[in-house]
Amino acid sequence: MTKIGLIVNPIAGLGGSVGLKGTDGMVEEALRRGAEPLSNARAAAALQELLPLRDTLLICTGADQQGGSCAGSLGFRTRILHEASERSGAADTRALAKKLIEEDVCMILFAGGDGTAADIYEAIGEKQPVLGIPAGVKIYSPVYAATPKAAGELARSYLTGALTSLLEAEVLDIDEELYRQDLVDVQLRGYLTIPQEKRLMQGRKTPSPLSEAAAAHAIAGMVIRDMAPDTCYLIGAGTTTRRIMERLELPNTLIGVDLICNGKLVESDVYGDRILELTEGWPLKLVFTVTGGQGFLLGRGNQQLTPNVLKKIGKENMIVVATQKKLASLGGQTLRLDTGLEELDQQLAGYYRVITGRDQYVVAKAE
């Protein structure tokens, strides 16, 4: 019997159907406008794809609308681990996620939106393979499959062993208040581990591309090789930059900025004025990557790099790293700068040689 977890955020997606661009703090209003809960139907569509495995699965989940009724109605065996409060919220998602880890399930399926993914990250970090069933109003985080059916298929492939590779995908969250005013402000909240879809190919003319991990490893090797002595390096947020810290055998802050010098850690999770204080009188360089799903170079996911810090570093000391696959996913679009100071954005605009592998660069425009 294989144990898997299921978390349904019953209110995810409520706001969208009634024009609210998100559900954070708007549940009452959404219901007043006649919104229909959708996430259980979405979760059911994903679970349909697991029916061929029904006799071998035990679905550990929350009671009723948090997953129990949806899994039960399809005839799956269930184990209820959590009773949600009257109107299930973020706290219930987190509580159930923690219980699923204690239950030692082999993967967790969750139906929701960006907020749900952030709650799960907060509760369990990168410990467990998970996979999102899209049910929220806004889905920016690539931890979600494209459709509920695709989520089910991917989960089935993973559970039957047809897919074995895992990937760390970004959990992004958006400020819904600003989004309602048509301003998109995406924050990197962390990373979740998801099964990686590998497209089956046949008769191809090119060998398998490097896995993301291997590409990041090569990038890290190149950055370290070219590091100058007696120079401070800020290592920005992200999984690509994390490999640099790993290869240097230094502790790393995944969604923060670390300061190193001569291969040693100066201080973890530094920010703003503290960076200026620590690096006074030292040459300073920055190694960072493109964050968020929208190709932000600066202004999202690395707010620790305040305008004063960026001014001290200067464009010529900025080392951008990214895997080719990540750049390819942006389709050649201009990288975005939003430091908060227009004048600084203009100074930093222009062409960057993004390190994409050993002695390999891709030219990207930023503005």
The residue ranges that bind other proteins (CB under 8 A) are 146-147, 149-150, 153, 162, 164-165, 198-209, 211, 324-325, 327-328, 331-333, 350-351, 353, 356, 359-365
> In whole angstroms, how close is the CB of 93 to other proteins at the nearest point?
27
Do 147 and 88 contact (CB within 8 A), yes or no?
no
Q: Is 227 exposed, middle or buried (0-12, 13-18, 19+ CB in 10 A)?
A: middle
> In whole angstroms, how close is the CB of 152 to other proteins at the nearest point?
11
CA distance linking residue 124 with residue 292, whole number of Å: 21
Closer of 251 and 332 to other proteins (Cβ): 332
Q: Is 277 exposed, middle or buried (0-12, 13-18, 19+ CB in 10 A)?
A: exposed
> In whole angstroms, how close is the CB of 292 to other proteins at the nearest point?
18
> Which residues partner with 245 through β-bridges?
none
> In whole angstroms, how close is the CB of 180 to other proteins at the nearest point?
26
> In whole angstroms, how close is the CB of 346 to other proteins at the nearest point?
16
CA distance linking residue 206 with residue 21, whole number of Å: 43
> In whole angstroms, how close is the CB of 345 to other proteins at the nearest point?
18
Closer of 73 and 160 to other proteins (Cβ): 160
CA distance linking residue 256 with residue 263, whole number of Å: 18
Which residue is it, tokens 């259980």? 40
The first and second tokens of residue 260, run together, are 């190193």
> In whole angstroms, how close is the CB of 63 to other proteins at the nearest point?
32
Do 133 and 148 contact (CB within 8 A), yes or no?
yes
> In whole angstroms, how close is the CB of 323 to other proteins at the nearest point?
8
In 3D, which of 30, 76, 16 has the Cα closest to residue 50? 76
Closer of 262 and 333 to other proteins (Cβ): 333
Do 259 and 267 contact (CB within 8 A), yes or no?
yes
Closer of 181 and 206 to other proteins (Cβ): 206
Report helix, strand or coil for 194: strand
Closer of 54 and 315 to other proteins (Cβ): 315
* CA neighbours closer than 13 Å in the CB half-sphere of residue 84: 25
Do 337 and 367 contact (CB within 8 A), yes or no?
yes
CA distance linking residue 295 with residue 184, whole number of Å: 13
CA distances from 90 to 12, 24, 84, 94, 360 (A): 10, 10, 10, 6, 43
> In whole angstroms, how close is the CB of 199 to other proteins at the nearest point?
4
Closer of 1 and 200 to other proteins (Cβ): 200
Closer of 77 and 149 to other proteins (Cβ): 149
> In whole angstroms, how close is the CB of 69 to other proteins at the nearest point?
27
CA distance linking residue 119 with residue 93, whole number of Å: 7
Q: Is 184 exposed, middle or buried (0-12, 13-18, 19+ CB in 10 A)?
A: middle
